[in-house]
Structure 1
Amino acid sequence: MTVKIRLKRTGMKKAPSYRVVVADARSPRDGRIIENIGWYNPRVEPSAININEEKALGWLKNGAQPTESVSLLLKRAGILERFTQEKTAAKAATAEQKTSKEA
C-alpha cells in the first residue's frame, strides 16, 4: 500500500481551503483518509499553513510520499528541512557504528 501526504479540498465553491491528509494513493482526492495532519488556507494574505510537525515527521519516517504541492508546503513550514537533517544524522550514526565494529 502506497501512502501519500496530500491536500484534500474543503470550503465553498470558488473559496477553497485544504486539509493536509495522509491517504492511500489509490483513494480519490476527497475520499477516505488515514489521518488529518494539518490545514492550508491560500485565501488569506500571507497564506496560512498549519501542519502538526510531529505527525508529519512520523509519516515521512514511515515512508509516506508527499505530493509536489505538499512538499512545497512542508518546505515553507521547515518540516522537510528538519526531516532531511534527521535522516542524514541517522545515516552518519549508522556509518559510525559500522566503523567502530570493524575496528
Structure 2
Amino acid sequence: MAVKIRLSRGGAKKRPHYSIVVADSRMPRDGRFLEKLGTFNPLLPKDSEDRVRMDMERVQHWLSQGAQPTDRIARFLEAAGLRPKATRNNPNKGTPGKKAQERAEARAAKASAE
C-alpha cells in the first residue's frame, strides 16, 4: 500500500482550511485517511504559529514507515527542520509569455528604427 502525507481540504467556499493526513494514495483527496497529523490554515499570516500545526513525533513515525510527503508537505517539513532543503529549479517560471515577448520585440524594433 502506497501511503502519502498530504492535505485534505475542509472549510467553506473561499475559506479553505486543510488537515494534514496520512492516507492511501488511491483514496480521494478528502476521502478516507489513516491518521490526522495536523492542520494548515492558509488564511493566517505566514509568520503565525497557528498557520501550520503538526505532530512531529507522528510525522517522523510515518516517514520511517515509508510514507511519501507531497510537495507542499515536504516544504512544511523543510521549514520545520525535519528534511534537508531540496533545490528546486524552474527556469521557465520567470520568462514572460508569448504575447509579452512579442510586445517587447515590437518595442525594441520601434526603438531601433528611430
Given the alignment of the two structures, is residue 75 of structure 1 paired with residue 43 of structure 2, yes or no?
no
Cα shift readout 1:55-91 (whole Å, capped 9, x = no counterpart): 000000010000111101111122224xxxxxxxxxx
Gaps of 5+ in 2: 85-114
Relative to its length, the structure with more helix (as a share) is 1
Relative to its length, the structure with more strand (as a share) is 1
Equivalent of residue 65 in structure 2, options 48, 53, 62: 62
Which residue of structure 1 aligns with residue 32 of structure 2? 32
- 1:43: how far off? 0.4
Gaps of 5+ in 1: 82-103
| Aligned partners of 1:49 and 1:77 also within 8 Å | no
Which residue of structure 1 aligns with residue 21 of structure 2? 21
For residue 18 of structure 1, give the secondary structure of its aligned residue in structure 2. strand
2:83 & 2:12 partners in 1: Cα distance? Answer: 30
Cα RMSD of the aligned pairs, angstroms, is 1.1
Identity, % of aligned pairs? 47
Highest RCO, 1 vs 2 (Cα 8 Å, sep ≥ 6): 1
